[in-house]
Structure 1
């Protein structure tokens, strides 16, 4: 559920980059929002006893080490596509630079927070 990824402090350039990232993935034939469809996909694939669960990741000052790790992981994910997004014209250099600045601000903010929902599925093969 890529649409649920939120950071505090608010990072509008990062948000624009993230939506461009998702749009690019979609345009290339991927599905950045596949989590919401997992139940249907598993049923259509012949699985039975399909179960889905929404998992919540909410990291703040209660777990600063885990929060730092997750922000670092998100940095890697976001930056992994920067060159492709630039080459495709999906973002410009100013957006990438702005996103990096905002990520640095999130890293250095003592009250940073990360919120993310994702779907986990389980099923049985017939």
Structure 2
């Protein structure tokens, strides 16, 4: 696993994860069909933000979430109970996903925004394979951070984004892992691999959505600030300058937001 988690485990970050999942829900889940899946394995279930959406869209599912950080598991149960979901259908297990030991067998697996944070993502894809039934559907959604672009270009945003991604690499993560999903799934022996590019290309035609996504992305970038400042990689002034630039672009009529992630579907 990565030695550090770039976003941290503060309560404000736990809440951001829930809000983030809602903002980008359609871009991810409109292309997923787990209607024929009954037992779903969710790797890196975190605070249950994606679990909540899975249960909302596929209420028949029985979900087992695997999470490395016990603080996130505690928050996940609270989040699901708070929003009225039946936690009898959900189990969160504290395990290292590179060394899974699970009693159940699953006919589907879901991974979202997880492989970017670990030192050996290939090991996760390999480790979960024996837990899956033959023909099980696997859906993996991951970042491709070099695609991030805003117009007009603001140096304070691009400089911060480079420091953010370089730091993620330095702690064992991979901000470009999405581009590698096809090869990784193939190396792990999965079949029927399909890739698609999802994300945002927002301009004045979708002004409200553009404002919402600029705010969401500013918060995502800001979530790494405590670790970046602790490592003396950035100053508080530089964080504030980045945030102000994102706010200005959010309100600028002719501004553009562009970002692509990669979603892979495969089968055991």
Does residue 1:62 correspond to 2:221, yes or no?
Answer: no
The 4+ residue runs of structure 1 with deviation greater than 4 A are none
Does residue 1:45 correspond to 2:214, yes or no?
Answer: no
1:17-69 residue CA offsets vs partner (Å, 9 max, x unmatched): 10111111111111111011000111122211111122352101111121111
Does residue 1:95 correspond to 2:238, yes or no?
Answer: yes
Match of 2:54 in 1: none
Match of 1:75 in 2: 218
Structure having the higher helix fraction is 1
Structure 2 contact 218–246 (Cα < 8 Å) conserved? yes
Return the TM-score normalized by structure 1.
0.92
Structure 2 contact 215–247 (Cα < 8 Å) conserved? no
Structure 2: gaps spanning 5 or more residues: 1-143
Q: CA RMSD in A?
A: 1.3
Match of 1:28 in 2: 171
Structure 2 contact 210–250 (Cα < 8 Å) conserved? no
Helix, strand or coil for the counterpart of 1:65? helix
Does residue 1:19 correspond to 2:131, yes or no?
Answer: no
Larger radius of gyration: 2
More RCO (CA 8 Å, sep 6+)? 1
Match of 1:9 in 2: 152
**Matched length:** 125
Q: Pairwise mapping of residues 108-123 of structure 1 onto structure 2 (< 5 A)?
A: 108-123=251-266
Kindly state the Cα deviation for residue 92 of structure 1 after the two structures are TM-superposed: 2.1
Give the stretch that moved more between structures: 67-76 or 53-62: 53-62
Structure 2 contact 164–228 (Cα < 8 Å) conserved? yes
Helix, strand or coil for the counterpart of 1:69? helix
In structure 2, C-alpha distance between the alignment counterparts of 1:114 and 1:70, rounded to whole Å = 8
